[in-house]
Amino acid sequence: MKILVLGGVRSGKSRHAESLARAGSGRVTVIATATALDEEMERRIAGHRAARPAEWSVVEEPLYLATALAAVAVEGTTVIVDCLTLWLTNLMCQADASLLDAEIEALLALLPRLPGRIVMVANEVGLGVMPVNALARRFGDVAGTLHQQLAGLCDSAVLMVAGLPLALKGVERC
């Protein structure tokens, strides 16, 4: 089962993904894509670490998500990817501009073949005002396109608003 959890900042996305993992059976691995570039981000990462059960495995991978997923996804386990938005940001900040397209293609090609349950968390950035600069507009375009592609590949999709999950696709099976 593949599940996409979308929502705004502090909408409850990670908490919902973690609750889905807790409700399942088997081992849980979190692939964390964040990088701590400042003290505020360090605090956010520390908060996520503190909220996770100690027995969950964590893989920190800011760029090569498909490779990390292929290494940890096995039948009977849950893998949480938290979060796709930071992953895209990391890729867009690389000197090699071709890495973004290559890694997105790798993820989209691999996802349907992955065993186990995969729960992907992403910020829905397309609900706000139109960004004023080209980079921000490009990011919104890339994220929105990726979300559409992933929603098409996933069994279930949820939009989190104020901590509440709104069913978009197949949520009754989560």
> Which residue has 């096995």 as its token pair?
74
Instruction: Indicate if 16 belongs to the active site.
Output: no
User: Which pLDDT band, with edges at 50, 70 and 90, does 51 fall under?
Assistant: confident
Q: Give the per-residue SS3 of 59-112.
A: EECCCCHHHHHHHHCCCCCEEEEECHHHHHHHHHCCCCCHHHHHHHHHHHHHHH
Identified catalytic residue from 48, 56, 110, 170? 48
The CATH code for residues 2-173 is: 3.40.50.300
What pLDDT score does 131 carry?
A: 80
User: Which pLDDT band, with edges at 50, 70 and 90, does 171 fall under?
Assistant: low
> Which residue has 């100690």 as its token pair?
54
Q: What is the per-residue pLDDT across 19-34, written as a single tens digit (0 to 9) for each?
A: 999 998 899 999 999 8
Neighbour-count burial of 45, counting CB atoms closer than 10 A to its CB (0-12 exposed, 13-18 middle, 19+ buried): middle
Mean pLDDT, all residues of the chain: 93
d(CA 32, CA 10): 17
Domain spans of the chain?
A: 2-173
Reply yes or no on whether the pLDDT at 174 is more than 80: no
Torsion of CA 129, 135, 139, 108, to 10 degrees: 160
